[in-house]
């Protein structure tokens, strides 16, 4: 089993239950699509990391948020998950790992691809712009 596994239930009226497992640590998130679409932001973050940029994805909880942070370095990525309760500015780190680019990014890409294939629509969840999905896949398989 890989170091990261992420799954979700079907979204309902803008709420998406997610289960993230990082090195055996389970983090259950029920994220909102307001004020941002975190699944779309995850696509954008994967693309940015593959281009060598740091990236962050906020998973809104209303109030508070989870934060996925990506810090690329050559062929590795440091990935961390933190939590801010009640819209606090500071996030409490929950888990952090440093692994190969594929170990971190490929399971997240697969999550988005699976999510995208379900064709969710408003009012349940906004559509995902998948323009970069194939280039992300190609970069991860190299």
Q: For the segment 114-141, what is each residue's pLDDT rounded down to a tens digit?
A: 999 999 989 999 988 888 898 898 898 7
User: How far, in Å, CA of 2 to CA of 5, rounded?
Assistant: 7
**pLDDT greater than 60 at residue 142:** no
- The predicted pLDDT at position 4 comes to 97
Radius of gyration for the alpha carbons in the chain, expressed in angstroms and rounded: 14
Domain containing 53 equals 4-140
Query: Could you tell me what percent of the chain has a pLDDT over 70?
Result: 96
CATH number at residue 14: 3.30.2450
pLDDT digits (tens, 9 = 90+) for 22-38: 999 999 999 999 999 99
């Amino acid at each position: 089993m890989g170091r990261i596994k992420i799954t979700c239930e079907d979204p309902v009226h803008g709420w998406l239950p997610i289960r993230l497992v990082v090195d055996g640590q389970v983090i259950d998130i029920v994220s909102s699509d307001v004020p941002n679409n975190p699944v779309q932001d995850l696509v954008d973050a994967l693309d940015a990391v593959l281009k060598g940029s740091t990236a962050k994805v906020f998973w809104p909880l209303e109030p508070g948020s989870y934060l996925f942070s990506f810090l690329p370095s050559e062929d590795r990525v440091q990935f961390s998950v933190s939590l801010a309760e009640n819209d606090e500015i500071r996030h409490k780190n929950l888990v952090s790992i440093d692994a190969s680019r594929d170990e971190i990014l490929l399971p997240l890409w697969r999550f988005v691809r699976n999510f995208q294939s379900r064709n969710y629509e408003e009012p349940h969840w906004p559509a995902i712009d998948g323009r970069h999905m194939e280039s992300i896949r190609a970069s991860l398989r190299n």
